[in-house]
Chains A and B, each alone.
Chain A
Amino acid sequence: MGEASVHTAISPAKADFDGIRAGLYALIARLLSGPLDNEFIAHLGQLEGDSSALGQALSELATQAKSKPSDNFSDEYAPLFYGQGQGGEILPFASYYLTGQLYDAPLAAIRDDMLKLGIQPTGSIKEPEDHIAFLLDMMHGLITGRFAAGAVDVPDQQDFYVRHIEPWAREVFSDLKKAESAEFYVVVADLGLAFMEIESEAFKLAA
């Protein structure tokens, strides 16, 4: 147990909040984008958190990553997100949540913005771009400057977040939390809910 804390604590005054926010977006995106591989599960085992809702979710992810056999994670992902051809228990697409139909107007709106921002899918995931993992990963890229447009400032991050993520993200995380097959992914949902709440609040302060 004790050997985990070789990490240097980051003092709030010096914390690179944008780097950490980007890290959280990437982390949650990866958790939702596909079954976890062993390397990523090992990374999860290193997460640490404090007593906040966000911190607790991070510690719990680490605890489960260290204690469960790695097969468990993919066994749980499949029924949740793949199902048997017809989609899983969760359909994490903006279109589905906002209009009730897959491949609907929200997807078109996202593709429009992707074009403007110089973002295109790598093809590594065969899902439409309004999948929650895509959108969270795009936030990571907008913050870090991974895309052609470079790093965008907070108001532009907020604009993307408010239009494409905020209207439905909490709902999909709430559904994931309640999903029949969810166990590890209940914690993922907790992390998502805590982080979305923080982002929504923080963007208001920035404005």
Chain B
Amino acid sequence: MEQKQKPDTPVKQGRREFLTLAGVAAAGTGLLAGTGSATAAEEQPAGKGQGYQETTHVRTYYELAKF
């Protein structure tokens, strides 16, 4: 039943397709929700631009966690 493959950008496409087939996407929202409290081992040192990215990511995870 299957037909042609879409000839898109080869490299990126390969990776995404592979990750899709491997079931990575199926992990879904439940997984991301877990991430908020999952962070285990180590963090960045208190460097110069400290925290900005870290904070936004943490916030994203908490927002996702509400689903």
**Interface: A206 (CB within 8 A):** yes
**Interface: B38 (CB within 8 A):** yes
**Interface: B41 (CB within 8 A):** yes
Known: A21-B24, A206-B11. A141 touches B33 (CB 8 A): no
> Is there contact, CB below 8 Å, between B37 and A30?
yes
What total of A-B pairs shows CB separation below 8 Å?
Answer: 185
The prevalent SS among residues of B at the interface is helix
Nearest-Cβ distance from residue A75 to partner chain B, whole angstroms: 20
> Is there contact, CB below 8 Å, between A26 and B38?
yes
* Neighbouring A residues of B41 by C-beta, 8 Å: 29, 33, 121-122, 124-125, 129, 131, 133-134, 137-138
A162 vs B10: C-alpha distance when bound (angstroms): 23
* Neighbouring A residues of B16 by C-beta, 8 Å: 12, 17
Nearest-Cβ distance from residue A165 to partner chain B, whole angstroms: 13
**Interface: A101 (CB within 8 A):** no
> Is there contact, CB below 8 Å, between B32 and A118?
no
B residues near A (Cβ < 8 Å) are 11, 14-16, 18-20, 22-35, 37-45, 47-49, 53-54, 57, 67
Extra A-B contacts (15), CB below 8 Å, given A15-B20, A39-B37: A7-B28, A17-B19, A19-B32, A27-B31, A30-B34, A47-B31, A62-B30, A118-B45, A118-B47, A138-B42, A145-B57, A147-B43, A148-B44, A154-B15, A202-B22
A residues near B (Cβ < 8 Å) are 6-12, 15, 17, 19-24, 26-27, 29-30, 32-34, 39-40, 43-44, 46-55, 58, 62, 114, 118-122, 124-125, 129, 131, 133-134, 136-138, 140-141, 144-148, 150-151, 154, 198, 201-202, 205-206
